[in-house]
Structure 1
Amino acid sequence: MLASRPQNKQKEGNGFFPRWKRQIQYAWQNVFNDFRQHALASLLTIIVIAISIALPTIGYLLWKNANEAAHQWYPTPNLTVYLDKSLTANETETLVQNIKHYPEVEAINYLSRDETLEEFRLWSGFSDAIDLLDENPLPAVAIVIPKDEAKQTTILHAMQADIIKLEGVDDVRLDDSWFTRLTALTDMVKTIVWTISIFMIIAVALVIGNSIRLSIFARRQTIIVMQLIGATEGFILRPFLYSGMFNGFVSAILALILSEIFIFQIDAIILNVSSVFGTIFTIEGLNWDEALFIVLIATMIGWLSALVATKKYLNMTHIA
C-alpha cells in the first residue's frame, strides 16, 4: 500500500493537465528571463509598439470628441413647415397629423400663430413695433424632427419635396448646408483615422515579428537541441507566442496611459475653446469597452505576428 502511493502521485504528475501546467510555466519563465536579459532592447521595442498603438488611439479620440462636440453645438437639422394662415384649427390639426404619419418623422413641435408671435417678440427685440400691428402677420409653424435613420441629406430633401406638395403648406425650409459640411468633415476625419490605424497595425505586426525573429535567431542552437531530443513544435513555439502576446499586451497598456496623458494635457485647452462658443464641453477618454478592445487587439496581433515569424523561420531552416 505504501509503495503504491508514490506511483499514484507519479501518474498524477504525468497527467495531461499537470504536464500542460508545467509547459505553460516553462514558457512564461522563458519570456520573463529573455526580457530581463535584454531589458533595454525589450523596453525600446515596447515603447515603439506603444507609440504605434497610441497614434491611432489618439486619432480615434479626436474624432470621437469632435463628433460629440459637433452634435452638441450643431443639432441635427429639422424641417420647418410654414402653414397657410387661412387654415382653421381642425384643418391645421389634420395637416399636422398627416405630416406626423410620415415614416421618417420622429415627432412634431407645433407652434400656433400666437406662439410664433411670442417667440418672435422674445428673440427679435421689436416688441414695441409688433404692438403697433393690427393683426398677427406670422403663420403657424410645424417643426418636423426626423428619426435617426432619416438624418441624411437625401432623405431630408425628399421629405421637403413631399411635404411642400400638401394642401395648406405655404413653405418648407431646411437649412442643411452646415450639416452637409459637418458630415463631410467628420467622415473625412474618420477615414483618416481608419487609414492611420491600418498602417499602424501593420507597423505593430512588423515590429513584433522582427523582435521575435531576432529572439529565435539568438536561440537557434537551443531550438536545434530541443528538436533533437524530441520536443514538439508546439513546445518550441509556445515561448515565442507568449513573448509576442506579452509585448502586445504591455504595449497596449502603455498606449492607453499615453492616451490618457494626452487627454489630460488638452482638456484645459478644450475648456477654453468651448467657453468661447458659449458652452461647456469636456473631452472624453476611452471607456472600459474601448480600452479592453484595444488591449485584446494588440495582444492578438502580437500572437499572430509571433506565430507567422516563428513558423516562417522554422520552415526556412528545416528545424520543424
Structure 2
Amino acid sequence: MSKQIVPDQPGVRVGATPKNTTEFTPVKEPDTFWQLLRIGLTNHKASIIDSVQRLIRQPLGSFFTWLVIAVALSLPMGLSLLLDSTDQLDGSWQQAAEISVFMDIKATETQAQELVEQIEKLSAVVEVNLISPQQALQEFQALSGLGNALTELPSNPLPYSLLITPQKIDKEALEDLKQQLATMPYVEIAQLDMQWVERLSAMLRVGKHFIFGLALLLIAALLLVIGNTIRLHIENRRTEIEVIKLVGGTDGYVRRPFLYMGMLYGLGGGLLAWLILSVILSTLNNSVTELAQLYGSDFSLQGVPLIDGISLVFGAMMLGYIGAWLAVSRHLRELAPR
C-alpha cells in the first residue's frame, strides 16, 4: 500500500486569481472628548441633511404642513400684537382719566398757583392744567348755549379748577391719588369718573384671557398636526428603522432625524407666520392710519417686533420638537425587530 503524500502548502486551483492576504485592524474606540464630540457632530449633521432632503423631496406636503402651522400661530400672535398696539393710546386714556379738582370759591390766583406747584411734585402726576374762573365761564357759555343768560349774573360763580393727568391708569392708584388731592389745602372737591376705567380694564382682561385660551387650544392642535405628520414619516421608514435596531441602533439614534424634522417643520411654520403677520399688519395699518387721522390722532398699528418674531420662530421650533418627540416615543416600542 502506497504512502499518502501530503503537500506542505495548500494546492492552488489552475487559473485561480491569487489571494492577497490582508490584516484585520480592529476599530479603535474614541478615547478623547474631542473625538467623541466630532463623531456626535457628524451624526447630527447627517441627520439634519437627511431631514432636509426628505422635506425637499415632498415640497407640496411640506408647504401645506408649514402653512397649517403658520395659520395656527398667526391668529393668537396677531391678536396679541393688536392688543399691545393699544399702548399707543395711553395719552388719550390718560386725558380721559383726568381728575378734576375744584378749589374753594374764595381761593385766589396765588393760592391756585401754589397748589399747582405742590401737585406737580407728586410722582403719580404727569401734568396739571389750571383753569381760571373766567376760562371756565367762557367754556360753559360755549357748551351750554346759555351765553346771554350767564352775562346777567352779578358775579362769576365758578372757582379755580385743575385738570390733573395721572401717571398710571389703575383703579387703585387713581383712587389713592384722588384721596390725596382731596386732603390738600384750598381743595373743595376732587372728582374722578371711574366707570369707563373699570370697563376698559375689564375689556383688556377679557381680551388677554381669550388670547391665552386660544393659544393653548391652537398649541394642542399643532402638537397633533406635527405628531401625525411625523407618524406618517415613521410608517414610511418602518422597515429601515427595524433594520437599524436589529444591528444595534439605539433609540436615540432612531429618534434623532425625526426630532430634526419636527424642528424644521416648526422653523418653516414660524417663518411663514412671521411673514403672514407682517403683510397683514402692514396692509391693515394703512386703513387704520387713515381712520385715526380723521379723529386727529397719530395712532398706527405696530408691526412684528424683532424680539417677538424671533420668539415666535423659536417657539414654533420647540413645538415641532415636542410633537416629534411624543410621536416617536409612542411608536418606538412598536418598531422593535421581530
- TM-score over 0.5 for the alignment? yes
CA distance in 2, matches of 1:315, 1:24: 23
User: 1:12-69: per-residue Cα shift (whole Å, max 9, x none)?
Assistant: 9x9223212221221012202211332222222111111111111221222222x235
Report 1:155-170 matches (<5 A): 155-161=173-179, 163-166=181-184, 168-170=186-188
User: 1:255-312: per-residue Cα shift (whole Å, max 9, x none)?
Assistant: 1111112112222221232133222322111110110111111111111111121112
User: 1:179-225: per-residue Cα shift (whole Å, max 9, x none)?
Assistant: 22222222222222222111111111111111111111111111111
Question: Which residue of 1 is the match for residue 65 of structure 2?
Answer: 45
Residues 219 and 123 of structure 1, relative CA distance in 2, 3 Å threshold: farther
Match for residue 117 of structure 1 among 126, 130, 134: 134
Deviation (angstroms), 1:167: 5.2
Structure 1 consecutive aligned stretches of length 4 or more whose deviation exceeds 6 Å: 128-134
Residues 246 and 40 of structure 1, relative CA distance in 2, 3 Å threshold: same
Instruction: State the AA in 2 paired with 1:117.
Output: Q
Instruction: State the AA in 1 paired with 2:234.
Output: I
Partner SS, residue 248 of structure 1 = helix
CA distance in 1, matches of 2:155, 2:225: 77
Question: Which residue of 2 is the match for residue 183 of structure 1?
Answer: 201
Instruction: State the AA in 1 paired with 2:290.
Output: N
Question: Which residue of 1 is the match for residue 94 of structure 2?
Answer: 75
Question: Which residue of 2 is the match for residue 198 of structure 1?
Answer: 216
Query: Which is helix-richer, 1 or 2?
Result: 1
Question: Which residue of 2 is the match for residue 57 of structure 1?
Answer: 77
Q: Given the two structures, how large is their TM-score scaled by the length of structure 2?
A: 0.77
Where structure 2 has 5 or more consecutive residues not aligned to the other structure, the ranges are 1-26
Q: Which of the pair has more CA radius of gyration?
A: 2
Give me the CA root mean square deviation. Answer: 3.4
Contact 2:116 2:130 in 1 (8 A): no
- Which moved further from structure 2: 231-240 or 135-144? 135-144
Question: Which residue of 1 is the match for residue 241 of structure 2?
Answer: 223
The count of residues paired between Structure 1 and Structure 2 equals 305
Contact 2:120 2:128 in 1 (8 A): no
Partner SS, residue 94 of structure 2 = coil
Contact 1:274 1:281 in 2 (8 A): yes
Residues 71 and 108 of structure 1, relative CA distance in 2, 3 Å threshold: closer
CA distance in 2, matches of 1:274, 1:48: 34
Residues 44 and 278 of structure 1, relative CA distance in 2, 3 Å threshold: same
- Which moved further from structure 2: 53-62 or 209-218? 53-62
Instruction: State the AA in 2 paired with 1:15.
Output: Q
CA distance in 1, matches of 2:303, 2:64: 26
CA distance in 1, matches of 2:87, 2:124: 23
**2:32 matched to 1:15?**
no
Partner SS, residue 74 of structure 1 = helix
Where structure 1 has 5 or more consecutive residues not aligned to the other structure, the ranges are 1-6
**2:273 matched to 1:255?**
yes
CA distance in 1, matches of 2:139, 2:163: 18
Contact 1:246 1:302 in 2 (8 A): yes
Contact 1:70 1:182 in 2 (8 A): no
Match for residue 260 of structure 2 among 219, 242, 247: 242
Deviation (angstroms), 1:100: 6.4
Question: Which residue of 1 is the match for residue 105 of structure 2?
Answer: 85
CA distance in 1, matches of 2:295, 2:115: 38
Instruction: State the AA in 2 paired with 1:289.
Output: I
% of aligned pairs identical?
23
Instruction: State the AA in 2 paired with 1:284.
Output: Q
Instruction: State the AA in 2 paired with 1:19.
Output: I
Q: Given the two structures, how large is their TM-score scaled by the length of structure 1?
A: 0.81
Residues 171 and 41 of structure 1, relative CA distance in 2, 3 Å threshold: same
Instruction: State the AA in 2 paired with 1:225.
Output: V
